[in-house]
Structure 1
């Protein structure tokens, strides 16, 4: 199977990468089912990358319906070592305005209906997750954005992403609670990806694209669907520029990431005690330590 060291997951509004050349679609079957869509392999800035539309290219999947494990496993099977995940978010801070870009360094989990580990079925692993984003990859992403001087876009390095279950948005009481926690943005997908990417030993960073203020803000009631859709389209254009520049920098100087050895001390079960069916299922993750 064709390989790509850099993976891109596109969220709401970012269903394809216009700049990709020499494109081929790859259907990947995983032990965890099929990914959200075919993975698009293509060349960006002279580098082969793998692109996946998180919600399917026609946006048919709710956040809670996403095959997170299949998506990350598929990226791992293609040889992805660095994963950039673009995501539409609402802002919980006045200074993070619509069209801004946030590169979070922390998450708070408010999901409840998701499997967020590859392990179980006879094998136990506990990854360290105090720093849930790869700092080295986040720096490359942030530096890339800063270098572009995108109009109407302010870059916010660091911040906390609240990951809620959805699909309904927050109540005002919840929104004010999250603000009291110091959170920066709110979305419905990226924490689950971050956990699984860490277990898969893939460096992971989020490009959070602000579409509007969450419902705490006095202007929120005047926000229309048309305004949000317009911001999604503008964000998608800006995100592609940011990702393209990030890929250019990554391909020239891929950074060391602690994520690449995340399982070294995480697996507690002796591998000779793991059921063979489970070892076969997780071979892609375990072969390095077998």
Structure 2
């Protein structure tokens, strides 16, 4: 059986973002947690090996609350990925943002309630998560386009429904800037896999309670994302070229000296279609 190819960087595409790489090869990756959202495409961007995975599947098969987040994170790590860029569609909550803005958030609030949010199923493994996004990767994203806004808090809701006006106004009153349905547990699972992770949020609308009118609808969100797809792909390509070396980043070194009780796949050496769950504690990730 052939080995999986190696990829150093991954892009996880959000709603309307179902392809990214030219001349890519697709690979089915079996994980201990089931199948990822789609086969993982591997190609090259700016001379670097990049994996692409559409978060919702190639045809938007998986709604936000039903995405297999653990399988996605594990599959990317099995390819060797150490840095993950996560473009996503978001609603704006306050006057700090407007439709069409690109924002690199620096904080998240998890308001999901039905998702498996960790690989930890036994033992004491308490991951620090005060700063959920990698500062080095975030800096590469903001540096790739002068119009990208740096900083902001993104609240992640369960979905698939949009917020009520009361919920939206409550989030705004907390001084949270963005609302999204997929940022959790994705960011935390990447950290557990020892990966640097940064989000790139496209504001597609002002959420229900933040503006007058009928509230946000799916057609509006998807249309705005399509209109900005070329802009997003260009920005991501420039950011990939500028990403720092992740060696020594606290996104991965947080587990040094800990006994991690879940499997972290060997980098780039997992045969396609084969998985192994090592139940022995591992020294580090």
Secondary structure of the corresponding residue to residue 236 of structure 2: helix
Equivalent runs, 1:77-156 vs 2, <5 Å = 77-120=78-121, 122-146=122-146, 154-156=147-149
Match of 1:246 in 2: 239
Task: Give deviations 1:175-211, integer Å, cap 9, x for gaps.
Answer: 1110111111000111211110111110000011111
Match of 1:259 in 2: 251
Secondary structure of the corresponding residue to residue 167 of structure 1: coil
Match of 2:22 in 1: 21
Q: Which moved more, 1:83-92 or 1:217-226?
A: 217-226
Any stretches of 5+ residues in structure 2 without a counterpart?
Answer: 264-275
Any stretches of 5+ residues in structure 1 without a counterpart?
Answer: 147-153, 272-279
CA displacement at 1:249 relative to structure 2: 1.1
Match of 2:277 in 1: 281
Whole-Å separation in 2 of the counterparts to 1:138 and 1:220: 34
- TM-score when scaled to structure 1? 0.86
Secondary structure of the corresponding residue to residue 197 of structure 1: helix
Q: Is 2:11 the partner of 1:8?
A: yes
Equivalent runs, 1:146-185 vs 2, <5 Å = 146=146, 154-185=147-178
Secondary structure of the corresponding residue to residue 125 of structure 1: coil
Aligned 8 A contact 1:103 1:159 in 2: yes
Question: Structure 1 residues 286 and 220, CA, compared in 2 at 3 Å: closer, same or farther?
Answer: farther
Structure 1 runs of 4+ aligned residues shifted over 4 Å read 222-226, 285-288
Aligned length: 268
CA displacement at 1:286 relative to structure 2: 5.8
Question: Structure 1 residues 113 and 54, CA, compared in 2 at 3 Å: closer, same or farther?
Answer: same
Match of 1:45 in 2: 46
Whole-Å separation in 1 of the counterparts to 2:66 and 2:278: 22
Aligned 8 A contact 2:12 2:87 in 1: yes
Whole-Å separation in 1 of the counterparts to 2:123 and 2:76: 22
Secondary structure of the corresponding residue to residue 145 of structure 2: helix
Whole-Å separation in 2 of the counterparts to 1:220 and 1:137: 37
Could you say what the CA RMSD is over the residues aligned between the two structures, in angstroms? 2.2
Whole-Å separation in 2 of the counterparts to 1:223 and 1:119: 36
Task: Give deviations 1:223-280, integer Å, cap 9, x for gaps.
Answer: 6654433211023222111110011112xx42552112122255477x9xxxxxxxx5
Secondary structure of the corresponding residue to residue 177 of structure 1: helix
Aligned 8 A contact 2:83 2:246 in 1: no
Whole-Å separation in 2 of the counterparts to 1:288 and 1:267: 5
Aligned 8 A contact 2:100 2:224 in 1: yes
